Every structure is written in structure tokens, then in C-alpha cells.
Copies of this chain bind each other. A is one copy, B any other.
Amino acid sequence: MSHPLPSQMRAVDHGAGGDVSCMTLAHAALPSVEPDGVLIRVHAAGVNRPDILQRSGKYPPPADASPFMGLEVAGEVVAVGQQTTRFRVGDMVCALTPGGGYAEYCATPEAHCLPIPSGLTITEAAALAETFFTVWANVFQRARLTAGESILIHGGSSGIGSTAIQLASVFGASNIIVTCGDQAKIDYCLALGANHGINYKTEDFVERVKAITDGRGVDVVLDMVGAPYFQKNLDVCAVEARIAQVAYQHGFKAELNMQALMMKRLTWTGSTLRARPKSAKAEIAASLEREVWPLFSAHLAALRPRVHATFPLADVAKAHRMMEAGEHFGKIVLTVAPGAQVHGQSVS
């Protein structure tokens, strides 16, 4: 049994790309459902930094992806492919998408969908996938953060940073140190579970981390800043530490002294999420559901995504302007269907 579906939907079209003014709310055909996929009626869609890059034409989507932006959604399953085995029409899910989340309907593989953790709103659930997949795959799977270890999280108040603080805290990190650009963001991170905040505009984070850790350094560094931090990240590492690189927001070229890599037996690794094959994302989803989803019941307050603001789909330009200004704490979410709750400083 399936709901009667319209033939058309509204979606954010960024045309040839450009600044926020390039986006319009257009009519488009509903996406087709793959045999192993589902079609979701989007209630809410998360806004992420790669969306900004895609809009401005700097991060073209993979060839087989939706032309529309939007890497994560929450909503109701309204159609399923023949090879699906789990979710049924009517189920509420949160999902990582191959793009196309900024729309009333979005198609994604069934294996990239997860049940909505009990206690979360749809809007919060829409803000889960991109950062949970990214932090889990990089900080926990690749960089192997374990209980009792310390972590330095750059961009602590970003979506990625907020999720990293929350997961590190719930998984028993001994010392969670963040860098932020002002005291309000540091306070936000401390409230989320960070133990120490460093204002990178006024303090040298290498010196401060060394002081905080009695000269030992940290076991894991999560970085999205890139080039200007490469050498400092190596310097701030403890013996056997791991650096997880999830973006290069300020470049990827630098003059480096790599002596510490060998002398301290470091591991420098990283990954992008979007380019990975369907099966790899399905493995991350399965690992998240097994290792992290069960923790929501006992740690709901600690793990609840921090939604800074919501905007109706038609106000996507405001959402992008807010992310570009970098003044937000946590996530920005687009509300698409009436079921999506309004959070934070939302204006409709």
C-alpha cells in the first residue's frame, strides 16, 4: 500500500550556482526510487557546509546524485524499491542522502536510513546524519578514539564539532578540548560536554593544550581547518596520537616538518563522506545503529543534536547566509513539511 504521490514537488534549485541569490524554490519531478532505495517525504533537512560549496559551484555533486543540495533529511517513507527489506511506507526515518534533501521528496538507499531515536523531534533527527556519519567514521572508526583518551576538537561549535564533543563525552573521553573563535562559542561547547575551550583568536592552541595536558599532548585531533593547522596539529599530538582530517576549510598546502610523525608514532588520516560508495555508507550506518543508537535512550540530553535555527524551505537563503556568517552554534535545519518543529531563532 502506498500513499497517493503527486507527480511534482518543490525543491531548491541553485541553477548554475553563485551567491545565495541564485537559489529559487522550483517545481521538479519526484525523484525515482532505486530498487534498493526508498522515497522519503521530507519533513526537515539539515544544512551543511558542503551545501554552500555545492551552491557556489565549488563542489559538484557526484554524477549519479540529485542535482539539488541537501545531504540529510528526516521524514516519512512514502515508497520503497523492490529489493528493500526493512523500512515500509509510513515509517519515520532519518537518513543520509546522496543530495536532494532540499526538497519535498528525497530518494536514498534504504541502508542509509536509520530509525529516529526515541525522544528526538523530526527537526533534530534531520540534523543527525551528516555529522554523526562523519564523526563516527573519522574520530571513532579511523582515529579510534577510546574511553580514557583525550581529544582536541577544532571548530567546536560547528555541527561537526558539536557532534564530536557529544560523542566523545558519551564514549568516555578523559579530556575534551575545543578551539573556537569567541567566548560565547566556548561556553556553548563547555555546556555540550567539553572540558576546556581555547579561543584561537587570542591564544596559541599548541601552548594551551600542552599546558592543559601537562605537556603530554592529546590522543586524537579532529581538524577541518587544514593548512594553517597542519604543523600545529602534529605538534600538539601525544605519542601514538591520531589526526582525523575531515575538511580543508583554509587550504591543503603547507610547508611541513614531519619529524614528529615518526618520532611520536602518529597516524594522520581522514576521509570525505560524499564520495564514498553506497556500501561504505551502509557500513557506517550499520555501525552507528549498533554502537551509537542504543545510547540515545540513556543519554538523550547529551546526544540530542543542537539545532541553532530553523527556516522554511522558501527561506533557504537566510539559512545559507547564517552558515556563511559562521555565527551559529550547532546545526541549521530547513523545515519542509508542517510536521517539522521550529527550534531556536527560527523565523518563517
Contact = CB atoms under 8 A, between A and B. Distances in A.
Interface of A: 142, 226-227, 230, 245-248, 252-259, 261-263, 265-272, 275-276
Given A262-B271, A262-B272, 8 more contacts: A230-B256, A248-B258, A253-B255, A253-B257, A255-B255, A261-B269, A265-B276, A266-B269
| Residue of A226, A247, A271 with most chain B CB atoms under a 10 A cut-off | A271
Number of identical protomers: 2
13 contacts: A226-B258, A227-B258, A230-B258, A245-B261, A252-B257, A254-B258, A256-B256, A261-B268, A261-B269, A262-B270, A263-B275, A266-B269, A267-B267
A246 B257 CA distance: 15
B275 A270 contact: no
B262 A246 contact: yes
B258 A265 contact: no
B259 A270 contact: no
Nearest to A259: B252
A259 B253 CA distance: 8
A342 to B, nearest CB: 35
Nearest to A245: B262
A231 to B, nearest CB: 10
Contacts of A258: 226-227, 230, 245, 248, 252-254
Nearest to A137: B265
Contacts of A262: 245-248, 252, 270-272
Nearest to A266: B269
Nearest to A264: B271
A272 B262 CA distance: 6
B269 A265 contact: yes
Contacts of A271: 262, 265
Nearest to A244: B262
A20 to B, nearest CB: 27
A269 B270 contact: no
A257 to B, nearest CB: 5
Contacts of A259: 248, 252
A224 B333 CA distance: 49
A46 to B, nearest CB: 21
| Residue of A254, A265, A272 with most chain B CB atoms under a 10 A cut-off | A265
